[in-house]
Structure 1
Amino acid sequence: MTSPFNTHGSLSWHELTSTNPEEAIKFYSKVFGWSFSTLDLPHGRYYLIENHGANIGGITESLTPEMPSTWTGYITVEDVDEVAINARALGGELIYGPEDIPRIGRFCWIKDPTGAIIAAISYSPISKTEEG
């Protein structure tokens, strides 16, 4: 079955890095009707965004207070490490990772030569079976 979680090049996840996750949750739950569940991760709480029972993204607190709240798209790739190497070779900047997320996969954040930020992720076989 084709899904954004197993199709190379697909936008599969949307993540908000927020200066105030609780306020963002209140806002988006009322604007879009989203619900949220909480995961406790090593860096702090992570809020899964659920839409009609499907996980579509997450909200996390910004680890750098000077960084404004920002949405980032995650692109599914076959090999995050290869994407990170290629991005740097093509003039991009690796700003985070590659790093493993237990039971989810491996990801990195890339800044392209124009300054835009995007994330790449390779999902683990376990997370692909837990979609939705």
Structure 2
Amino acid sequence: MNTIGYFEIQSSNPAREIKFYEKVFGWKFIKEEYLPIEYYRIETNGINGGLLQRPASIPAPESGANAYVCSIQVENFDQTSQLIVQNGGQVVLPKFAIPGQCWQGYFVDLDRNTFGILK
């Protein structure tokens, strides 16, 4: 527990990024039809992840890191969510179910870095 359990890549052009990562790393992408956003599950030979349609503008080059979003696997989603908020973090996408897999949610830390938690 409390380790990176999943990563996500946001993309303004998912088809382009899928081709890139398939060719470079041999990752497999599976479109998830049950989610309210365009989303592809990524299967790797290590930590698995996902690729989604970017929900906001691409950060300007001067903005600093434009990186993957990592999700931390936790023992108790609700308790961890409460600790995040109590310590100054903010909820950006409340807890939701990924059927048959986990509960997921997204937050920002004090410097507006996005991260997820899952249980």
TM-score of Structure 1 vs Structure 2, range by shorter chain:
0.7 to 0.9
Tell me what 1:36 maps to: 29
Q: Letter of the aligned partner of 1:97 in structure 2?
A: P
Q: Across the two proteins, how many residue pairs are aligned to each other?
A: 113
Q: Match of 1:83, SS? A: helix
When the two structures are superposed, what TM-score results if normalisation uses the length of structure 2? 0.82
Q: Match of 2:33, SS? A: strand
Q: Distance in 1 between matches of 2:88 and 2:28?
A: 39
Quick one: percent identity of the two aligned structures? 27
8 A Cα contact 1:18 1:70, kept in partner: no
Structure 1 unpaired stretches of 5+: 1-7, 123-132
Tell me what 1:47 maps to: 40
Q: CA deviation at 1:118?
A: 0.8
Structure 2 unpaired stretches of 5+: 60-65
* Bigger strand share: 1
Q: Distance in 1 between matches of 2:21 and 2:76?
A: 32
Residue 57 of structure 2 corresponds to residue 66 of structure 1: yes
Tell me what 2:49 maps to: 57
Query: Runs of at least 4 residues of structure 1 off by over 4 A?
Result: 67-70
When the two structures are superposed, what TM-score results if normalisation uses the length of structure 1? 0.75
Q: Match of 1:41, SS? A: coil
